[in-house]
Structure 1
């Protein structure tokens, strides 16, 4: 585990990654995470999904999430509802809620995801 310390990070320092369950150029940078800063209570990522990219439908047992759409548009599935999401929309996902996001727009879909606590355990 990385030592816990206060840091300032530049977004260019973190490589883009495609995590398991993410498809079609659904890329993320783990800016604050156990492996990058030693954080234990939150995971903070910026993600960019190219058109047609998505994360598969999934659920977190204990984690809460916030998605903040920075640019583009797509479809957010939350529970039994699917909604268009656009720039400046903020989505709160409670534990136990099945969800997915996909880029159904014409350009890149860029958003922040904050997850707490870090693990679902």
Structure 2
């Protein structure tokens, strides 16, 4: 188990947070960590806003222990869960438990903007 990090209160403007293309994300699949390990020291939650350019995607992957919620704000894309494909549009959301293969691709003509909540923040460590 990792040593406990110091948690930090955070009140911030989203514009101040940098966009980042995380590993496994391609073609302009960008995210901002709003609250998580590097911004608040939390090991329990990783909260991001993501914006995928048309055709951008996250490659198919599986989480060992992490649970995720995706909530679409703008645009549309195909979310693949195991072998099922789901068209996601504004106000659609999904809960993805550990062990489900998933990917997300912007299939629209505009940006796909969505929130991602992941817990725990590290896929190697279960919450106690």
Shorter-chain TM-score range: over 0.9
> Unaligned stretches of 5+ in structure 1?
none
> Unaligned stretches of 5+ in structure 2?
none
Query: Residue 9 of structure 1 aligns with which residue?
Result: 12
Give the one of 111, 115, 118 matched to 2:114. Answer: 111
State the distance in 1 between where 2:37 and 2:11 align: 15
2:39 aligns to what SS in structure 1? helix
Give the one of 72, 79, 82 matched to 1:76. Answer: 79
Instruction: Give the 4+ runs in structure 1 shifted more than 2 A.
Output: none
Query: Residue 51 of structure 1 aligns with which residue?
Result: 54
- Please say if 1:34 is aligned against 2:41: no
- Please say if 1:64 is aligned against 2:71: no
Residues 17-48 of structure 1 show CA distances to partners (whole Å, capped at 9, x for unaligned) of 00010000000000111111111100000000
TM-score, normalized by length of structure 1? 0.96
TM-score, normalized by length of structure 2? 0.91
Q: CA RMSD in A?
A: 1.2
Aligned length, in residue pairs: 121
